[in-house]
Structure 1
Amino acid sequence: MQTWYQRDEASESDDSESDLLRALVRQELFLHYQPVVDLKSGKIIGVEALLRWNHPEGGVQLPKDFLTIAEKGGAIPSIEEWILHTACKQNKKWQEEGLCPFIVSVNISAFPLIQADLVQAVENALLDSKLEPKYLELEITEKMAMDADRTLDILFQLKRLGVSISIDDFGRGYSSLNYLKRFPIDKLKIDQPFVQHSMEDETEESVVKTIIGMAKNLRLQVVAEGVETQEQLVFLQQNLCDAAQGHLISKPVSAERLVEIYTRVQEIVPDKGIGPDQIEQLRKREAFSQARLELSEALKNQQGMTFKFVKLENRYIHTLCEGELMNRMGILSEQIVGKELIEILDPAEAARKTNYYERAWNGEQYVNYEGYINGVNYIAALRPIYQSGKVKEVIASCVDITELKKTEEALRASEAKYRLIAENMSDIIVVLDQGGIITYMSPAVSSVLGVTPEELQDQHILNFILPKEKEKVHQAVEEMIEWKLPKQLSFSSTHRNGSKVILEAKGTPVLDSQGEVQQIILIIRNITAQVHAEEFLRKIDRLAAVGHLAAGVAHEIRNPVTSIKGFVQLLKQDHGKQEYFDIMLAEFQQLENILREFVFLTQERSSSYEQVSVGTILDNVMAHLQEKSLHHKIKIDLTGEQEIIIWCDPTQIRQLFINILSNSIEAMPNGGMIQVSVLPEGHDKVMIRIVDEGCGMSEERLKRLGEPFYSTKEKGTGLGLMISYKIMEYHQGYIHFSSEPQQGTTVEVVFPLDKVRSAT
């Protein structure tokens, strides 16, 4: 009688297939999970689901013992569908138990991917388990790329579901760059033998390094399989591999055991590997080297020419010269680098160009000159490069203009107009490619957002737009591309100093010769002051509601009068208790405050204007509020350019800031910090920004600020804020409030420095 492992191969295939299907029914199949950890932080970022068979006669078997023969039959699709459902349900269960969410990886063989309805099976598994698609990864093999035409469509369908896709055992088989570029792949998993032999075989070491480098260039993640030693771990970290799995980290374990060792697994990399800081340094060094290499290649292949120079002992020495234009000029890099102009050109031409070099070295931003070498006319644009506030070097870009000499006068006229516009235009000019990436940003962005054009170069347009408005801008860009028509929109961004900036943009699509959108040009204008001023004027208009105001005042006066009347009657009966007098005095005080505020609103503009520094006023206000702020455990921090002089009525402005800071103090019952900053706004305005850590306000409450008798305080009248608005109207400035519940409140008070004097 034969045992289960003694059957001949002919019968084994059919029997294995039947046995596996019966094993599914009898629940003999189960999964183990092997953790995948991040090689920088050590955190578990995923697990690989691995099939096991608890054979009734042979005990626990690995897939290599039974799947090879079973693949000839039809059992594999059913098994892999079971694995999908089981792995997804288990991952969802881990999340519900409180584990930090990570990805579960499931191996998919070539057979069902091509023949079976894998996409539907994956979708069913996700729906059944309620697992988010981003937490499922499908591992395919390299040999699947051999049938790329059928495989590619299925992979794109899977990507549309939201799952990620990795290449398992990479390096073992096909390894074609062609399919790596075509396929929607997220990750490469380096085959185990390469990792395990990398410490003893230089060829295997080179393969691992090559795979990591190739993946980085293709923007793919890299996972190393089979990590068994500390030396292998450190080697992978030093070569910037992203993640790893293997027996050094953990063997495949049951779902329950994974929960038990979860914390210990995450300590392996910190204990046995190199630290995150060292890895970050390696990443920065690698990025820098890659950037230098790419820059060098780009400079060599450019149609024009780029050169750089530095100033050493009053001599301008060239440190770089690259570009295809050099070939047309008949010169070599060796003839330029390390030399000064007098060694390259005749004395007269060297002296002429030295003048331009000197201007650029002294910090002039737009230095252009024309030159002529060996029959080639060119124009050079010089730009100084700064480091620690000083010019470190000057870089020049050269363009061939030989064919344009016939239209030299027109070119000069156009150049003059262009420079005039570019240097004086306050609007931002932005050029986007079809993907929304910024390919050009005009210098005006520095004054509007406080950042340089270089910081936004090659960034997505959505990166400097507030989160809640990203979808609106994204949709506008998509509509311009689809309809090929201009569009106007407004959105908000953040200045480097933290203030909110409101922008208005006119977008125009630029079409290529085939009528397709090649670029989008945006003309962006800063309308923050305009919007805030309009908002302020709307609030000021409310002051004209005399009827409403009078009714409110009558109501507010009636309340304390009624109280006083009642207490007078009580005095007649009780012959006067002290607490009655205290309450009456408080009500009289409230009545007096209301009347004083109401009288202020009816007064004409003050004529007591004088020059005073913002810091002097704020120091006085802070001294006045010192006792109140100490009582509420509030610290007020004053920073900025306090010496800025404004032309104002100091008494009114002092009252203005007392009102605002008092509101901030009262909004922070548990104490905290109030930040007061004095900031110049261009050359003609000054902003005083007050930021508290209080309870904040909803958008609906913000809209009602400044209305008569609308207050956030229990006994407030709202007149204090109305007075503040009136004061700013007198001084031709404005106040702007921004706030969110539990996020504090920011108040921006803006004075126009040059207009207040003339208004008086």
Structure 2
Amino acid sequence: MVDFMGNQSETGKSIASELKLLTSQELYHQLFGCELIAMAIVSLDGRLLRVNTSFCRLLGYTEEELIGLPIQEISHLEDVAIYEELCKQTFLGERISSQKENRYVHKDGSIIWGMVQVSIVRDTDANPSLTWVQIQDVSERKRLEQKLEESKRSYQSLLNQNQNQLILNAVSEGLFGIDEHFGTTFWNKAAECLTGYTYEEMMGKNPYQVLTRAYGTGEDLQLKYEKVLYRTMLEGVCECTNELFYKKNGDSFPVEYMISPILDQDQIIGVVLSFIDITQRQGTEELLRKSDKMSLIGQLAAGVAHEIRNPLTTLKGFMQFLQQGAANKKEYYDIMMSELERIELITTEMLVLAKPQFIHYQPKSIENIIKSVITLLETQAIISNIQFVVAMENHLPLVLCEENQMKQAFINLLKNAMEAMPDGGQIDIQLCSIEDKAVRVLFQDRGHGIPHNALARLGEPFYTTKEKGTGLGIMITNKIIEDHHGQFVVESKVGEGTVVSVTLPITYSEQ
């Protein structure tokens, strides 16, 4: 008879007679009478030749309905290849039998999970003749596993949510999330403390619009605020800037915030905004600016005193001529008026620089600001044997700036250039427009230059290359330019000099 383990038959009978022998009453009861495991004999082309009662009960069909039916038709579409792979492995002799979990479709359409085992029945020449299929129902186990997995996922989701919430509440920065419909998705404790709004009060609202009070402003300002969110939501671009936020009680406070996209499988599903109150930091920065400003005024005082003393000496001399009845009085009056206007200009510039002012950005001419700075430093430059050479384009566009702060920044840069040239020389100042988008100011000295390691640390407070410097000048200058959304670049070579570039965006308010 045929050996189900693949050994050759001793009798050498034909396959038909072997099948007849297999299906004899005795063998049928021995092999197919098992009520626990579904069994079937399948032809090499996949058709069911014999099935036992358990096989019929498992799938809900009668024996007559199953005989001759391709086994693939009762297999789940996604698992048809599994049976073929198991047959292939056993045909090639890789395994005596192969088993794997597979899904089958019940007559009523429900899914049955079974552990299927396939063995090959070989003829006397050891060639495959039939396949022996056993299916053990594991549906209940799979259901339990799925329930366990669902419980695990649910628990993990809840756990992740509670960890996430703990992290959000532990962060000192205000954090809130906005979904693709611009509604609030989360709101941490710091955001609540800084603004006075609770998460419940922000539900269903656009928190960014509430905090900036954009809903109560004109359409242009609303569009500006919406663009900030859209740019991150649509393009995934991170935005970092300063803004005024409003608390629930109506008080405003300055913040620095960053908007970043929230990704889910590379898809942007919202944005997260983190913000901090910079009221104290702005106060400290303003104190540093004032300190640096007073230091500048002190350094300029000697040069200004000399500049004023010269015209005063001239005025005193002409007054003496006039007292003695000198002729050509009109000519003397004209000279005296010119000297008085010179004194007035210098003292006005000094007062403007020293006077505390509310920061108010207005469209201003960079040419005029540079001319004012040169007026203040010209005498000191002459004493130091330094010449200012200015080259500028005609009709440069206006720049939105706080004039007093820009003067302070430019004075710092020019004084640094002058101090880098103890033996005198030429400082070039160039002004030009950049693609009708910005104005660039270049200061080029021919001093001793800055070493590479020192160049990297410029702008650090109290770091300086000067013997008696504080390092605050460059730090303040950098911060002023940064507040004006400009760029500040320093390039230097030891022994050749330094080039400082300041680029400031222009304003279109004049158009």
- When normalised by structure 2's length, the TM-score is 0.29
Larger Rg: 2
Report which structure shows greater RCO (CA 8 Å, sep ≥6): 2
- When normalised by structure 1's length, the TM-score is 0.21
